[in-house]
Structure 1
Amino acid sequence: MNPFTLFNKTRPLDGLYMIFITNRMQVLFFILVLPMYLVHPYMIFILIAIGMLSQLNLVILSKILRSYPAAKGYEGFAELFGERKFRFFVLIGLLQLFVKIMIMVVSYAESVRHFIFPAININWLVLFIILIGGYTASRGMENTMRFVIIAFMSSFWIVFLFVRFYVPPIASLNDLYPLIPFEWTRQSWKALLVTWSAFSSPEYLICLAPWFSKHTKVLKCLTIGNAISLFEYLLLFIASLFFYGSSYLRETLFPVINMLRYLQSPVLERIDTLLLSAHMFHFAFVIAIFLLCFYGGVRILLKRVSKPVTRKGFCSSILFILAGTLALSTWFWKTGEQQNIWFLLEVSIGAVTYTLVPSLLVIAGKLKGRME
């Protein structure tokens, strides 16, 4: 039997992988729902502004990814913080990652059930998604990171289907007014939080840094990935405004997928089914990365980094996540109010980690003299 390895490094990955990973981790689920939270035309400028603010955060993140601790991985950060403090931070990271994975999986399973399998129990979809992600993760971190090429190619092209909504009679410039907000409500603040969270997840590149080539132009790659995400968000949001109008957009669940139902194809009867199916490659990639990060964090917490990885330990971590996700989908995902609370928790976690992790690591590195 071949030895079971997950975190081996054979050949460094170049900048193209960093670009695609940054982009795919940002747009994962938000690309399907973000327009329903932005709603108003003036949010176009807010979206651009937050995309630029995200770029500033990526400048900070790039300093970490180029630093000695990130290149060394566990050993580097343990040396930076000290063993005990580092394990404490890992524990906090594991808790938020556990919650994030659960909510992401159940949210995606809910969308698949809503559009493709309305009669099936959501728990079967949850099981299927976790198993697909677990199988992908079992190929190892390096192979999973290489899988991003397939994830990108299978899902990025879908945004160009929405160009159809930019031409008359669907498109009308009246749908892009007003461009100046006349009032600022609680919902507007929520839209800001969701939008900032929609650019989050590049902070997890810190866990992947040892697999990238030391010659990678980190800031350039992060910038391109962030720009692609901003382009996708803008294209879909403006298309949604043209199709629904702001008054109806706020009432629409999964507006992006519903728009595809109105596109006709001589080959496919339902293009929305194609979108969700193709999106599965994208989703499997991100979930696999998170599962590997979770298992790696558990190994650090239990002081087993120096010992070989085991199938038993890896499967146990996946089963633990599966149990938590099934509990969430069975008992705490019944009403729309419950789903909104969990979604708000997910976006809050993403916003907080994206804001704090890069800055705190740079500050720690400066204090220790391990960062330029």
Structure 2
Amino acid sequence: MKPISLYDRTYAFNGVYIMLMTNRLQMLYFFIILPMYLIHPYMFWGIIGVGILSQLNLILLSKWFQSEYSKKGYQGFIELIGKRMVRFFSFLGLFFILLKLIVIVLGYAEIVEQFIFPSMNSKWLILLILLVCFYVASQGMEKTIGFAVIAFFCTAWLILLFYIFFLPPNASVYDLYPLIPFDWPDGSWKSLLLIWSSLSGPEYLICLATWLKPNQNFLKYLSFANAMTILEYLLIFIASLLFFGADYLRFSKFPIVHLARYLQFPFIERIDIILISVLLFNAIFAGALFLLYFYGGLKIAASKLNKQSSKVGFYACFIIIFICLYLSDEWLSQFGMEQSVLLNIQIWSGALTYLLVPSFLFSVMKRKGREKT
């Protein structure tokens, strides 16, 4: 079958693209359910504290983008840890990528089914979302990176819709008390872990360094993205608290969507449908990116990177991922379990990858630098 060009590099992107990609990867499915798990007003400080830790993590990540190894792409990884370890980590990364894809697609499919098409079979929704992701990914990595701009401008403005919840009589400052806890609940560490895992995603951008212009101030763009994400988390959490109150927030599975359902404008109704439809741009961008990562990771793990990408291989990846999605959805529905099972696994895996990938690369580069000197 005729080969396809998925990973060609004909254009170098500036730092604005990494800022937009970082922000959108941090604003995936988790932010929709985040307020439900935070609940208490004093978790406001938890978002800020974890955001500061995320910034420290991004400082380590920026060291990778500024290094000579990142400019070499695949060869740079081989110089750092050797070909065998690159293949091992590529194989290991397939499971993390697949899990993230499953959670994203199943999560958005559940939202679409619950609020827009309640009578539609979830399998068809999963297939439709995955097909759109596949189409974007089939255009190649460059077009997928460019799609991040569309995803950002289609979704970033949505936070402005919630301004009404900050105004009286809807808002009461008493719903934000206490800002300092009298006693620290036992399960609060899980909320902090969820925030950290929600901020994960930028670690996957290490593979895109060769598509970026070298010698840029990557830390500046990563910092802007992280600051925007933290601000969005804070605004969403505060709006949810002001509307639901801490006592009722825990019972709202998708608080952001429910907030949109209560928005009323004289010229349009069902804002929640528009919100969900627009948020799908985020899911499509992330899904397309991880599809390309999955196929590339398979090629590296199988030592086939030097061979031209083929339609057969790419279609096979699509089929594998769809089968995994189908079986996951069937497994959850058959045993009467909610998606929280997969969410808990993804929370831990996302937290681990976000913690370990930047620190591992930084430590390996430091060791390599000492060996050279």
Normalising by the smaller structure, the TM-score range is over 0.9
Matched, 1:282 2:310: no
Corresponding residue of 1:182: 182
Can you list the C-alpha shifts for 1:235-255, whole angstroms capped at 9, x where unaligned? 110000100000100111100
Mapped contact 2:28–2:104 kept (Cα < 8 A): no
Corresponding residue of 2:353: 353
Matched, 1:8 2:8: yes
Alignment of structure 1 residues 75-114 onto 2, 5 Å: 75-114=75-114
User: Alpha-carbon deviation of 1:266?
Assistant: 2.5
Corresponding residue of 1:56: 56
**Counterpart Cα distance in 1 of 2:340 and 2:263:** 29
**Counterpart Cα distance in 2 of 1:223 and 1:172:** 32
> Residues 284 and 265 (structure 1 numbering): CA distance in 2 closer, same or farther, change over 3 Å?
same
User: Alpha-carbon deviation of 1:18?
Assistant: 0.8
What amino acid is aligned across from residue 353 of structure 1 in structure 2? T
Can you list the C-alpha shifts for 1:131-157, whole angstroms capped at 9, x where unaligned? 110100001001110111110011111
**Counterpart Cα distance in 2 of 1:333 and 1:206:** 36
What amino acid is aligned across from residue 330 of structure 1 in structure 2? E
**Counterpart Cα distance in 2 of 1:17 and 1:323:** 32
TM-score of the superposed pair, with normalisation by structure 2: 0.96
**Counterpart Cα distance in 1 of 2:174 and 2:31:** 24
**Counterpart Cα distance in 2 of 1:78 and 1:334:** 44
Q: Answer with 159-168 or 175-184: which moved more.
A: 175-184
SS at match of 1:147: helix
**Counterpart Cα distance in 2 of 1:78 and 1:317:** 25
Corresponding residue of 1:21: 21
User: Alpha-carbon deviation of 1:14?
Assistant: 0.6
What amino acid is aligned across from residue 83 of structure 1 in structure 2? K
> Residues 3 and 320 (structure 1 numbering): CA distance in 2 closer, same or farther, change over 3 Å?
closer
User: Alpha-carbon deviation of 1:49?
Assistant: 0.8
SS at match of 2:262: coil
TM-score of the superposed pair, with normalisation by structure 1: 0.97
Matched, 1:120 2:142: no
Among all aligned residue pairs of Structure 1 and Structure 2, give the percentage whose two residues are the same amino acid: 46
User: Alpha-carbon deviation of 1:3?
Assistant: 5.7
CA RMSD of aligned residues (A): 1.7
SS at match of 1:332: helix
Aligned pair count?
Answer: 372
Corresponding residue of 1:309: 309
What amino acid is aligned across from residue 265 of structure 1 in structure 2? F
Corresponding residue of 2:39: 39
Mapped contact 2:112–2:276 kept (Cα < 8 A): yes
Can you list the C-alpha shifts for 1:289-347, whole angstroms capped at 9, x where unaligned? 11111111001011111111111111111110110011001122457754212111111
**Counterpart Cα distance in 2 of 1:215 and 1:165:** 43
Unaligned runs of 5+ in 1: none
**Counterpart Cα distance in 2 of 1:256 and 1:336:** 25
Mapped contact 1:155–1:282 kept (Cα < 8 A): yes
